[in-house]
Amino acid sequence: MFRRREPVPFAFLAEADKFRSNVAPPPRERASVSQIAGRWLLGLTIVAALVGSLVVGMPALSPDQSAQTQQSQASQGR
């Protein structure tokens, strides 16, 4: 394999952890009014879908009262 002819200065590696760049990243672009409105509309649609699924699914989650009354009538011999 190849050997490095110059040793790596370990002081340079230790200073690399402390190095901070003086170049600032560019500022973020502000969202336009239509983008903000679209995000709100998407969030509102998702919340409405979750609430709607709960409203539609609640009858299936409740105990069935008609089955209990039919069972009691059958046990009485009617």
**11 alpha carbon, distance to own chain's centre:** 44
pLDDT the model gives residue 15: 61
Res 76 pLDDT > 80: no
Please, is 41 exposed, middle or buried when counting C-beta atoms within 10 Å of its C-beta (0-12, 13-18, 19+)? exposed
3-class DSSP state for residue 24? coil
Q: How far apart are CA 16 and CA 72, in angstroms?
A: 81
- What predicted TM-score, i.e. pTM, was given to this entire model? 0.48
Residue 8: pLDDT band (50, 70, 90) is: low
- Stretch 16-30: mean pLDDT: 76
Res 27 pLDDT > 60: yes
